[in-house]
């Protein structure tokens, strides 16, 4: 797994961190780093594209 990266849009300690593992993307809240959302890479890619399209 790669190292955790913090979102550049995080403000005031409300931080989302992301790490890439083989065929997986992991997301966590920096205030609660033990709870990790582990997403298969294809689903994470679909989700990010949907965000860019505004879920249209």
DSSP-derived secondary structure for 1-56:
-PPPEE-TT-BTTB-EEEEEETTEEEEEETTEEEEEEEEEHHHHHHHHHHHHHT--
Query: Which is nearest to 23 in space by CA: 43, 47, 50?
Result: 43
pTM assigned to the model: 0.73
Give the pLDDT confidence of 2-45 residue by residue, as tens digits.
Answer: 799 887 777 777 788 999 988 999 999 888 889 999 999 999 99
pLDDT at 8: 77
- Domain containing 10 equals 5-53
Domain count for the chain? 1
Q: How many CA atoms lie within 13 A of 47 on its CB side?
A: 8
In angstroms, the CA 7 to CA 33 distance is 14
């Amino acid at each position: 797994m790669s190292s955790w990266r913090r979102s550049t849009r995080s403000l005031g300690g409300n931080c989302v961190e992301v790490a890439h593992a083989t065929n997986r993307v992991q997301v966590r809240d920096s205030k609660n780093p033990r709870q990790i959302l582990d997403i298969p890479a294809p689903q994470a890619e679909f989700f990010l594209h949907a965000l860019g399209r505004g879920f249209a």
